[in-house]
Amino acid sequence: MTGQISLFGIRHHGPGSARRLVEALNALKPVAVLIEGPADASDLLPMLADPGMVTPVALLTYAEDNPANASFFPFADYSPEYQAACWAVRHGAALRFIDLPASDRLGASAADIAEESAARSEEDPVSRDPIGALATAAGYDDGESWWSDVIEENPATGPVFAAVADAMTALRTDEKPLSAREAVREAHMRMSLIHI
């Protein structure tokens, strides 16, 4: 694999996050856009850019033998993932989800995932809320206020995603080992980069 890889960390759906991501994509002009989401649903992503598609919409995955075991991935006009998918289609870039397939997520017990996440959060508060850790370091009371000031409501353009990525890298240097599930997810996403 050759070429540059750029990561854009997104905290949540928001017009500022979506605007900044589109600005970054316009400046970068990537040949591929990879989005955190179920890899086995990648073929559905171009539908988001269909002129007849009206948001909000959501991708729903569920276990056929137990429909209560479901996950959904929402998209609105102000969703960075929605804007990234539309940008990729408009510019002819490859477009894929790169997270574990939905079948893997649905095969795991929701209780097991919740238990694993809770145990990890108690052991390592940075992994529970890394943006909250950045906010505290910057003198904010919570991560939402920091994200709002720095990303959502900040009219200035600039390399905010690079700054967030650098901060996340610094935070992860002291992070406890990933849970087994998160380690598998991250490995799957890294492997997805090879097959661009």
Q: Is residue 27 part of a domain?
A: yes
**3-class secondary structure for 49-62?**
HCCCCCCCEEEEEE
Q: Is residue 49 part of a domain?
A: yes
When divided into structural domains, the chain yields a total of 1
**Which residues on neighbouring strands pair with residue 59, listed in sequence order?**
73
Distance CA 91, CA 89 (A): 5
Please report which helix (H) or strand (E) contains residue 162, including its range.
helix 160-172
What is residue 49's predicted lDDT score, i.e. its pLDDT? 95
User: How many Cβ atoms from other residues are within 10 Å of residue 164's Cβ?
Assistant: 21
Please state the pTM of the whole predicted model: 0.83
What is residue 1's predicted lDDT score, i.e. its pLDDT? 47
Q: Is residue 10 part of a domain?
A: no
Q: Is residue 106 part of a domain?
A: yes
What is residue 172's predicted lDDT score, i.e. its pLDDT? 76
**Domain coverage including residue 61:** 15-194
What is residue 121's predicted lDDT score, i.e. its pLDDT? 54
User: How many Cβ atoms from other residues are within 10 Å of residue 174's Cβ?
Assistant: 8
**Which segments in the chain show pLDDT lower than 50?**
1
What is residue 120's predicted lDDT score, i.e. its pLDDT? 54
